Amino acid sequence: MLDQVQSLKEEIQEYQVANDQELESFRLKFISRKGVVSQLFEGIKDAPVEDRKKLGISLNELKNAAQARFQYLISDLNNTPQTGEVDHKDLTLPARSTELGGVHPLSATWERIIEIFGRLGFNVSEGPEIEDDWHNFTALNFPPNHPAREMQDTFFIEKNPDVALRTHTSNVQIRIMENNKPPIRTLSPGRVFRNEAISARAHCIFHQYEILYVDENVGFVDLKQTLYHFAKEMFGKNVKIRFRPSYFPFTEPSAEIDISCLICHGKGCNICKHTGWVEIGGSGMVDPNVLENCGIDSQKYTGYAAGLGIERTTMLKYGINDLRLFTQNDVRFLKQFRSLGF
């Protein structure tokens, strides 16, 4: 009888089924009350007393093996489409969607700026984010004790007063003028750093784009015309732009550039501080001292420069009222810009 149990065990281990009928045959043969295993249990009482215990143990093992194999055969059958039979997949279920990434709104603006100025003949240049005092301040005509050099604005590196994270992209102006002869027409987008509290309007890490044009007979009218054109291309023909007299050490005369608030359309909001105008940057005629610092003859050449904020530009373009949204990586925000492309 033990031999019989052993050969049944082997049969069970190797049993395969191809469909529900064959599964049922397995059940009838090994699991059901009338099956072989039950019959063998019946036979225990006829076996010699000394063999009964051993027999009981191996029959229980056989029963468990049959149960386990039965469960295995059920799941195997459910997972394998049966040839010639209907596959039980629900073809009406919606397909699993593949999440597509999108261009970050700041990247889209960055590329659009390059495109607009590119058509005006500006090339793209970049400079280092870790900068020395000369390129970030001194060559730009900052007087030795100018407040912008102090700790509250500038992130210095390892307490070395000569090495800092650049506070603006104007450092690239210097590097370009030092290494190129006029005519120079360049656009320098990049990341800048300032030790400022983070709010809806300001961040300690943000992006600027610097515009520099140096040639003979460049005048303020060229600056105005270029920025008028840029504003209309970027924000649409109904945008208004104004120049406010201002001061920067590296330009003379200097002007701040305001754009009509496209977030509240003049109704008043926290971004335009209820004035209807948003400042997007500064500009002016390159100070002759700066040209000379870079080895350019200020008698022969003049130039204009401007530095604008990419975050501000993007906020105005898309009506975003909090700059912190750009860095929070909230997909509900980012998803809204999926249609943007380069």
Q: Which of 55, 259, 306, 310 binds ligand DAH (CB under 6 A)?
A: 306
Nearer to ligand DAH, 109 or 173 (CB): 173
Residue bearing tokens 């754009």? 259
* DSSP H or E run through 282: strand 277-286
Compare residues 55 and 305 and give the one whose CB is closer to ligand DAH. Answer: 305
Range list of β-strands (E), 121-238 = 123-124, 130-132, 156-157, 160-165, 184-193, 205-215
CA torsion sign, 228 to 230 to 236 to 241? negative
Give the ranges where 146-287 is alpha helix by DSSP (H): 170-179, 220-235
Of the CA atoms within 13 Å of residue 249, those in its CB half-sphere come to 16
Assess 210 for contact with ligand DAH (CB under 6 A).
yes
Span 9-68, contacts to ligand DAH by CB under 6 A: none
- Sign of the Cα pseudo-torsion (69, 70, 72, 73, in order): positive
Chosen residue from 182, 189, 282, 303 binding ligand DAH by CB under 6 A? 282
User: CB of residue 287 vs ligand DAH: minimum separation in angstroms?
Assistant: 9
Residues 286, 289, 290, 294, CA torsion sign: positive
Minimum distance from residue 303 beta carbon to ligand DAH (Å): 10
Length of the chain: 342
Least separation in angstroms between residue 147's CB and ligand DAH is 13
Q: Cβ atoms within 10 A of the Cβ of 151, count?
A: 9
The CB-of-185 to ligand DAH minimum distance in angstroms stands at 14
Candidate segments 1-9, 98-106, 174-182, 280-288, binder of ligand DAH by CB under 6 A: 280-288
Q: Does 251 bind ligand DAH (CB under 6 A)?
A: yes
Q: How far is the CB of 214 from ligand DAH (least distance, A)?
A: 12
195 — alpha (psi -120 to 50), left (phi > 0) or beta? beta
d(CA 122, CA 186): 5
Pick from 105, 182, 190, 281 the residue near ligand DAH by CB under 6 A.
281
Q: Does 137 bind ligand DAH (CB under 6 A)?
A: no
Of 37 and 305, which CB lies nearer to ligand DAH in the complex structure? Answer: 305
What's the min distance (Å) between Cβ of 189 and ligand DAH? Answer: 13
Consecutive H or E run containing 76:
helix 49-79
Q: Which tokens belong to 108?
A: 């889209």
- Tell me how far apart the alpha carbons of residues 98 and 100 are, in angstroms, rounded to a whole number: 6
- Count of positions on this chain that bind ligand DAH (CB under 6 A): 12
Residue 307 as a binder of ligand DAH (CB under 6 A): the answer is yes
Region binding ligand DAH by CB under 6 A among candidate stretches 2-10, 43-51, 268-276, 277-285: 277-285
- 168 near ligand DAH, rule: CB under 6 A: yes
According to the binding rule CB under 6 A, does residue 284 interact with ligand DAH?
A: yes
**Closer residue to ligand DAH (CB): 105 or 309:** 309
> Which phi and psi (to 5°) does residue 277 adopt?
-130, 140
The stretch near ligand DAH (CB under 6 A) out of 92-100, 180-188, 281-289, 312-320 is 281-289
Helix (H, G, I), strand (E, B) or coil at 108: helix
Q: Which residues bind ligand DAH (CB under 6 A)?
A: 168, 170, 210, 248, 251, 281-284, 305-307
